[in-house]
Amino acid sequence: MTIADIVAQASAPGQPRSVGLSADECLKCNVCTTACPVARVTDLFPGPKYSGPQAQRFRLGSELAPGSGRLSVVPSPDRSVDYCSGCGFCTTACPADVKIAEMNNRARGALRSGRRPRLRDWLLGQTDLTGRLGGLTEPLANWGLHNRLVRVLIDRILRIDRRAPLPRFARRSFRSRLGRHWRGRWSANAPAPATSVVYFHGCAANYYEPEVGQAAIDVLERNGFTVIVPPQVCCGLPLISNGLYAPARGRARSNIAVLAGYARAGYRIVGTSTSCTHTLKAEYREMLDIDDADARMVAEATWDICELLVDLHAQGRLDTRFGALDRTLPYHAPCQLRSHGIGLPALDLFELVPGLRAIDLDHDCCGIAGTYGLKSEKYEIAMAVGKPLFERIRAGGAEQVACDSETCRWQIAAATGARLRHPVELLAEAYDAYLAAEP
């Protein structure tokens, strides 16, 4: 296969655009650099243009593995790409549709592939394992993770920053609290697809914030849905963003195996974590090259919960009997949500709640970017990235702040002392307020 063949194949109509070859579209305009929160605060990262399309020229050569016809990425000419947080603002800002963040992520994957992963990176990817262990050993685990001395040791040994925001394990996981919900794989006996949704809770709602999962169930049930909670594992994003593609593929395969059954039967899959839902929607294909019919079915069936509720509203099917929540509510839209390309559905929903004055904080990134800001060598970068956001929140003095993504919630809560809530928790509260006000 010649270079020309590969280029022709990759640019054939209908072919999803190759992440690597999109570097060809680069105009060198530097607009991406203006949008990069990391390059804004550190010299350690030269910015998206350099680490993306510029460096890509050096990576493409060996993409052309003879006869394979497959485009894969070879290591980056320099390692600074590891400082990319993966927030994705560069990709949205680029006027030429260069897939910069995706390119960087693949380059990181190539840097890691074939090597033994750092213990820390591996561990950060094991959210199911740590979640289960933490749940079993709670409260000891919570004590440890919030004890200064233990954190200093973890910092020294693992390089997870002692100051970084770690969540608290819930005493009982979300799944273990579930009652009557259908929790199996799809079968003909499952509740009917027209009146049910499949809930992908992810690790955060399961191990750390079961209240978010409960709020999702309450809101969905209030709108007449039966909620199905099928077996699931971590979506794999923490592995992907640490460049550990091989184990991530394992996670992806097992989720797809379960969820495709539902997707094929016409169910919608809804998630409360914008990162998990984005992984199901896009990253299995874009990052992990899993692009079969099942993966596509799952992607197309997946919805962020606020996206789904806005869609219901547009069809006149959302129960809009919200009680009043009289408060000012600053809202931070997480990077992962922006990568969905669905706007800011939480703000649309907040408009429906009487008394609720939501304010779009309009700051790019809180810094945490999944597990990025936990790492000792990146913690200070992450805090500098989020600083204007934290200052705005502190200056506003609001007690509560809303945000759709768990790691951002933990980061912002740790940095500001505010109480961070998922939008769906506020909607559940507003539904309760309505019921309470009913005579």
Partner 1 sequence: MATADVAVVGAGLAGLTAAIRLAEAGARVHVLAAGHATTHWAPGGIDLGALPDSRTSQEAIDRLAMVPGHPYGVLAAELPAALAWLRAVLAREGFELEGAPGDPLRAIPTAIGATRLAALLPAGMAGALPAWAPDETLVVCGPAGFRDFWPEAIAGALRRPSSWRGQTPPGRIEAVSVELPGLAGRRNLSSLDLARLFDDPAWRRAALEGIARAVAARSRAPGRVALPAILGLNDHPAALAAAREILPLLPFEVALAPPSVPGLRLYAVLRGALRRHGGRLQVGEAVHGTIDAAGRVAELRAPAAAREFVLSAGAVVLATGGIAGGGIVADGPATLREEVLGLPVDGPPAGNWLSDDALSPAGHPLETAGIRTDRHLRPVAPAGSTADGRPIAENVRVAGSLLAGQRYLRERCGDGVALASGVLAARKLAGVAR
Residues in touch with ligand SF4 (CB under 6 A): 26-32, 35-36, 38-39, 48-49, 52-53, 84-90, 94, 96, 98, 100-101, 104
Closest CA to 130 of 243, 246, 208: 208
The tokens for 131 are 């979640």
Q: Rule CB under 8 A: say whether 77 interacts with partner 1.
A: no
Q: At what angle do helices 406-416 and 379-396 cross, to 10 degrees?
A: 70
Q: At what angle do helices 423-437 and 305-314 cross, to 10 degrees?
A: 50
Among 24, 34, 78, 264, binds partner 1 (CB under 8 A): 34
- Rounded to the nearest angstrom, the gap between the alpha carbon of residue 94 and the centroid of all alpha carbons in its chain is 21
Q: Rule CB under 8 A: say whether 266 interacts with partner 1.
A: no
Least distance CB 17 / partner 1 (angstroms): 10
Distance CA 392, CA 412 (A): 11
Among 15, 62, 95, 150, binds partner 1 (CB under 8 A): 95
SS3 of residue 270 by DSSP: strand
Residue with tokens 């199901």: 280
Q: Rule CB under 8 A: say whether 30 interacts with partner 1.
A: yes
The interface mask with partner 1, positions 273-302, x = CB under 8 A, is -----x-xxx----------------xx-x
The tokens for 417 are 């002392």
Q: Rule CB under 8 A: say whether 203 interacts with partner 1.
A: no
Binds 344, which of ligand SF4, partner 1, none (CB < 5 to 8 A, cut-off by type)?
partner 1
Least distance CB 331 / partner 1 (angstroms): 12
In the chain, the amino acid numbered 2 is: T
Binds 86, which of partner 1, ligand SF4, none (CB < 5 to 8 A, cut-off by type)?
ligand SF4
Of 70 and 79, which CB lies nearer to ligand SF4 in the complex structure?
A: 79
Among 59, 120, 340, 421, binds partner 1 (CB under 8 A): 340
End-to-end CA distance of the chain: 74
Q: Which residues contact 312 (CB under 8 A, 6 or more apart)?
A: 223, 318
Residues in the chain: 439
The tokens for 365 are 């990134």
Binds 40, which of ligand SF4, partner 1, none (CB < 5 to 8 A, cut-off by type)?
partner 1
Residues of the shown chain interacting with partner 1 in the complex, contacts defined by CB under 8 A: 29-31, 33-35, 39-40, 43, 46-47, 50, 91-97, 278, 280-282, 299-300, 302, 310-311, 314-315, 338-345, 347-348, 360, 362
